Amino acid sequence: MAALKRMPPRSEPAATNRFVSRIPEGDTERSFDPPFRKILIANRGEIALRVILACKELGIQTVAVYSEADRDALHVRFADQDICIGPAPSAKSYLNIPQVIAAAEVTGAEAIHPGYGFLSENPHFVDVCQACGIVFIGPNSEIIRMMGNKAQAKATMKAAGVPLLPGSDGVVDTVEDALAWGEKIGYPVIVKASAGGGGRGMRIVNGPDEMSDMYNTARTEARAAFTDDTVYMEKYLLEPRHIEVQILGDLFGNIITLGERECSIQRRHQKLIEESPSPALGPELRQRIWAMGLRAARAVGYFNAGTIEFLLDARGEFFFMEMNTRVQVEHPVTEMVSGVDIVKEQIRIAAGQKLEYTQEDIALRGHAIECRINAEDPFRCTPSPGRITALNFPGGPGIRMDTAMHQDAVIPPYYDSLVAKLIAHGRDRTEALARMRRALDTLVVEGIKTSAPLHRLIMDHPDFISGNFSTHWLEVYLAALEKERAEVH
Ligand code: ADP
């Protein structure tokens, strides 16, 4: 390569000098050794790209793995190296542990970032990484195993003094036991898969007459989804809000919180819109919920990035629901208000570096909202895979778009329908909402249907604007929209 001549430093014109003094001392340029030389990303889509971006900033080489359906994907294009690990179905590619490990070994990757989903919460995978001398970017397998079994996680939290919903102590093995717990807890109750995730293996039971059917369906669904059909039960809250606390911990026992996220806009128990801070919390409740998130994390000696999920009832009481031992889909809203790059911190922590921040360093600024853009019919929620024929990404102040979409990309039918996350940040919630509206107005995705039109309607809804909603709000709103449409036709 032709040697580039080093340019002599340009002297600043006198007129701009008065601004220079506003840069805090010592805040010019930080240099540090890259935590790793090379990382393999065991994921696809926007999160694989998100990890690649963090690695580029840290000066780390990247290896992409991909299935035959993802040959032309952006994470493959932007990684330094890439390896095909199998055919389209996840079980044969992104979940194929021997193939992922072989790819890391062949390329000499020192660490694996699992993203979310796929192998990210698989303790066996973490053990295999360790046995092969590869660093897993996340907590250890013991913590993942403990938190992955929700019944066990609840028992651990109970012992630590974290508030729980009334529920069965551990798993419920028979319909008779389920009926006995139903009487004790009081209806409605929810039957949940111990290995649950993605809203699967959950059934609401309104009274004893429904128990047998619902209990058995939850178990069947759990067996199919997780090959583990154990279930537990807890009180079903009627109008709760889903509030979660972001945690970062290092290997030296430092644990901090980056605040909460409000994730109550859901359908089929799946999040669609997230924001930070939550419009439902006053300063006192916020402090209590953060403190409980920290207590939960400390109880298991947590390290790396993690999230404690709570349900908040109308009286301001909140209860532990589960802990996710990985980066969350919705981590960007926290990044926007905290200024902390969570993925970079994950990598640094895994390399044994100390947290760059103390709790006192964390000053949350403004408000951020994220809309999940899914490849689906916005009102029927049915998948809409296909080729993207035209695209325009919104921009302007306060807008961030995390996506792996590109012109002519083919969205395959095999994976999660999330194709982009549109994030708006503003000085306050009103400004964030205004920015989200104009971003949605200039977002163009043609060739497939997306959830964007639904987001645009929600952004104008008085309940959303006032912050007055629970986890059921969206389903009620969708039913109302459906009725309206039926009347028109
Ligand atoms: P998953 O891990 O499958 O996503 P979660 O336990 O996180 O399941 O629950 C997902 C959503 O289901 C919650 O955000 C909430 O809307 C609903 N939910 C779960 N448990 C309860 C409960 N006890 N009462 C009311 N809603 C619940």
Give, in degrees to the nearest 5, the angle at Cα 138 between 136 and 142: 90
Closest residue by Cα to residue 136 from 332, 326, 386: 326
Q: Is-catalytic flag, 241?
A: no
Q: How far is the CA of 138 from the centre of ligand 1 (A)?
A: 23
Pocket test for ligand 1, best of 309, 311, 474 (most atoms within 8 A of CB): 311
> Residue written as tokens 């190296």?
81
Give the whole-angstrom CA distance, residue 165 versus residue 154. 9
- One-letter amino acid of 113: H
CATH class of 31-137: alpha beta
Report pLDDT for 353.
Answer: 96
Q: Whose CA is nearest to atom 5 of ligand 1?
A: 199
> Residue written as tokens 């551990």?
170
Pocket test for ligand 1, best of 190, 232, 269 (most atoms within 8 A of CB): 269
> Residue written as tokens 């809409």?
384
* Residue partners of 286: CB distance under 8 A and separation at least 6: 259, 260, 277, 278
Ligand 1 lined by 472 (C-beta under 6 Å): no
Which entry of 50, 200, 286, 326 is annotated as an active-site residue?
326
Report pLDDT for 196.
Answer: 86
Ligand 1 lined by 185 (C-beta under 6 Å): no
DSSP secondary structure, 180-195, as one string: HHHHHH-SSEEEEEEE
CB 326 within 8 A of CB 120: yes
Other beta carbons within 10 angstroms of residue 287's beta carbon come to: 11
DSSP secondary structure, 22-65, as one string: TSPTT-S------S-SEEEE---HHHHHHHHHHHHHHT-EEEEE
Q: How far is the CA of 202 from the centre of ligand 1 (A)?
A: 8
Ligand 1 lined by 240 (C-beta under 6 Å): yes
Give the whole-angstrom CA distance, residue 95 versus residue 89. 9
For 268-379, list the strands marked E by DSSP. 270-276, 304-312, 318-324, 367-374
Q: How far is the CA of 267 from the centre of ligand 1 (A)?
A: 11
Report pLDDT for 197.
Answer: 82
Pocket test for ligand 1, best of 116, 206, 321, 329 (most atoms within 8 A of CB): 321
**pLDDT, tens only, 429-438:** 999 999 999 9
Q: Whose CA is nearest to atom 8 of ligand 1?
A: 199
Q: How far is the CA of 199 from the centre of ligand 1 (A)?
A: 7
For 116-227, list the strands marked E by DSSP. 135-136, 189-197, 200-205
Q: How far is the CA of 269 from the centre of ligand 1 (A)?
A: 6
The ligand 1 atom nearest the CA atom of 190 = 23
Question: Would strands 304-312 and 111-113 be described as parallel, antiparallel, or unpaired?
Answer: unpaired
* Residue partners of 276: CB distance under 8 A and separation at least 6: 259, 260, 261, 262, 333, 334, 336, 337, 364, 367, 368
Domain residue ranges of the chain, discontinuous segments joined by +: 31-137, 166-235, 241-488
What average pLDDT values come out for the chain (489 residues) when binned by 10 residues? 38 40 50 86 98 98 98 98 98 98 98 98 98 98 95 94 94 96 97 88 96 96 93 96 98 98 96 98 98 98 98 97 97 98 98 96 98 95 94 98 96 96 98 98 98 98 98 97 87
Ligand 1 lined by 120 (C-beta under 6 Å): no
> Residue written as tokens 């840069």?
23
Ligand 1 lined by 322 (C-beta under 6 Å): yes
pTM of the predicted model, to two decimals?
A: 0.92
The ligand 1 atom nearest the CA atom of 167 = 23
Q: How far is the CA of 198 from the centre of ligand 1 (A)?
A: 9
Ligand 1 lined by 197 (C-beta under 6 Å): yes
Question: Would strands 231-235 and 189-197 be described as parallel, antiparallel, or unpaired?
Answer: antiparallel
Ligand 1 lined by 399 (C-beta under 6 Å): no
Element (H, E) at 425: strand 418-426
* Cα 202 versus chain centre, distance: 20
Secondary-structure breakdown of the chain: helix, strand, coil percentages, each rounded to the nearest 5: 35, 25, 40
The ligand 1 atom nearest the CA atom of 238 = 25
Q: How far is the CA of 53 from the centre of ligand 1 (A)?
A: 32
Q: Whose CA is nearest to atom 17 of ligand 1?
A: 269
**pLDDT, tens only, 324-381:** 999 999 999 999 999 999 999 999 999 999 999 999 999 999 999 999 999 999 998 8
Q: Do domains 31-137 and 166-235 have the same CATH topology?
A: no
Element (H, E) at 92: none
Fold of 166-235: Dna Ligase; domain 1 (3.30.1490)
| CATH placement of domain 241-488 | 3.30.470.20
Give the whole-angstrom CA distance, residue 409 versus residue 452. 18
Ligand 1 lined by 218 (C-beta under 6 Å): no
